[in-house]
């Protein structure tokens, strides 16, 4: 059996796994993200030890990483983490380092693109070729899969910073995006919920009026994302979307906002299976990384 490696490179922890999919993982480990030297060594060691012990060469290793990343093919800093505020991690050649240490071909993409690919292979977007994965957590990020591949374009789309209608009468909160104030991320990420209410989003009860507002901003954003990319499905993940009561609200509001403009059964009659939660749970990130590796 050909085996692949996967790394979910997160700002707080790394998860590494070896295998072929959710039911075929033969090894895994996790450890906190410290310095690049220590953390990348730990990751490389995990794969090297496995290969030595099992006398198996991994076909490739995928990294689904926090960013921003340079993903422009041919760029001198291709595969680098670029301008992150995370101490020590700016300008780290994460892909090159792991490729040199392990001797395996290493492919890298954003954490969201990884999760999107994983969901396409084994999760909530199986059988689809063109879809969107949006994560709503500390930040808001998006991945656009086109013909089963993460779309990059000039850099990579992020989706969090689109502009939305913002009724200051109804919601005087100015937004917390350092670049744009009240863009989508500035109005609707987890910290924006906390800034408005003085409580962590996970502690706000479902009947708190802020959830109605949150659903509305997400629905407004989805209208724009749908109009620009016409995805076959939209997966909504991230910490904030653990509030499962948001799904029915977002679906109803998105359909109302579109107001019959898009004559597609998926939206008119089947919106419950058009806007959906992820299916891969805790292992989504590292499985996405394995999906990336399989795509080389």
Q: Per rule CB under 6 A, is residue 190 in the interface with ligand ADP?
A: yes
Q: Per rule CB under 5 A, is residue 161 in the interface with Zn ion?
A: yes
Q: How far is the CB of 73 from a second copy (least distance, A)?
A: 11
Q: Per rule CB under 6 A, is residue 9 in the interface with ligand ADP?
A: no
Pairing of strands 4-9, 13-19: antiparallel
Residue partners of 117: CB distance under 8 A and separation at least 6: 109, 143, 145, 150, 288, 291, 292, 295
Of 223, 241, 232, nearest in space to 277 by CA: 241
- Applying the rule CB under 8 A, the residues between 198 and 217 that interact with a second copy are none
Distance CA 135, CA 142 (A): 6
Q: Report the first-to-last Cα separation within the chain, whole angstroms.
A: 17
User: Binding string to a second copy for residues 47 to 66, with x set by CB under 8 A, is what?
Assistant: --------------------
| Omega of the bond leading into 68 within 30 degrees of 0 (cis) | yes
Distances (CA, A) of 286 to 177, 213, 270: 28, 32, 30
User: Binding string to ligand ADP for residues 102 to 141, with x set by CB under 6 A, is what?
Assistant: ---------------------------------x-xxx--
Among 95, 156, 196, 255, binds a second copy (CB under 8 A): 156
Query: Do residues 226 and 258 touch, judged by C-beta distance below 8 A?
Result: yes
Number of H helices, E strands in the chain: 9, 10
Distance CA 166, CA 156 (A): 26
> Binding segment for Zn ion among 42-50, 58-66, 170-178, 287-295 (CB under 5 A)?
170-178
Among 183, 187, 219, 267, binds Zn ion (CB under 5 A): 183
Q: 3-state class of 83 per DSSP?
A: coil
Distance CA 89, CA 85 (A): 8
- Applying the rule CB under 8 A, the residues between 255 and 274 that interact with a second copy are 257-264, 266
202 binds, among Zn ion, a second copy, ligand ADP, none (CB under 5 to 8 A by kind): ligand ADP
Of 204 and 221, the one with the shorter C-beta distance to a second copy is 221
Q: Please tell me the count of residues contacting ligand ADP according to CB under 6 A.
A: 14
Question: What is the binding site for a second copy (CB under 8 A)?
Answer: 68, 82-83, 130, 142, 144, 146-147, 151-166, 179-180, 182, 220, 223-225, 227-232, 257-264, 266
Q: Which residues bind Zn ion (CB under 5 A)?
A: 161, 177, 179-180, 183, 185
The footprint of ligand ADP (CB under 6 A) covers 135, 137-139, 190-191, 200-202, 238-240, 242-243
């Amino acid at each position: 059996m050909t085996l692949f490696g996967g790394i979910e490179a997160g700002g707080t922890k790394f998860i590494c796994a070896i295998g072929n999919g959710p039911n075929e993982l033969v090894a895994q480990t996790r450890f906190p993200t410290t310095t690049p030297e220590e953390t990348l060594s730990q990751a490389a060691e995990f794969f090297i030890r496995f290969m030595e012990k099992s006398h198996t060469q991994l076909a490739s290793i995928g990294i689904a990483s926090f960013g921003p990343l340079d993903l422009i093919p041919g760029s001198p800093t291709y595969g680098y983490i670029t301008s992150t505020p995370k101490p020590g991690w700016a300008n780290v050649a994460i892909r090159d380092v792991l490729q040199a240490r392990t001797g395996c071909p290493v492919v890298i993409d954003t954490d969201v693109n990884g999760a999107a690919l994983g969901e396409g292979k084994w999760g909530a977007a199986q059988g689809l070729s063109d879809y969107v994965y949006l994560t709503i957590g500390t930040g808001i990020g998006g991945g656009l899969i086109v013909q089963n591949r993460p779309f990059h374009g000039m850099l990579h789309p992020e989706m969090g910073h689109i502009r939305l209608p913002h009724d200051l009468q109804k919601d005087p909160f100015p937004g917390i995006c350092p670049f744009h104030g009240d863009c989508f991320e500035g109005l609707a990420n987890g910290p924006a919920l906390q800034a408005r209410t003085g409580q962590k989003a996970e502690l706000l009860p479902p009947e708190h009026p802020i959830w109605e507002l949150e659903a509305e901003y997400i629905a407004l954003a989805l209208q724009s994302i749908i109009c620009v990319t016409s995805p076959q499905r939209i997966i909504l993940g991230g910490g904030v979307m653990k509030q499962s009561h948001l799904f029915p609200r977002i679906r109803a509001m998105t359909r109302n906002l579109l107001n019959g403009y898009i004559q597609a059964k998926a939206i008119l009659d089947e919106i419950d299976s058009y806007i959906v939660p992820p299916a891969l749970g805790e292992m989504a990130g590292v499985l996405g990384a394995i999906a990336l590796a399989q795509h080389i």
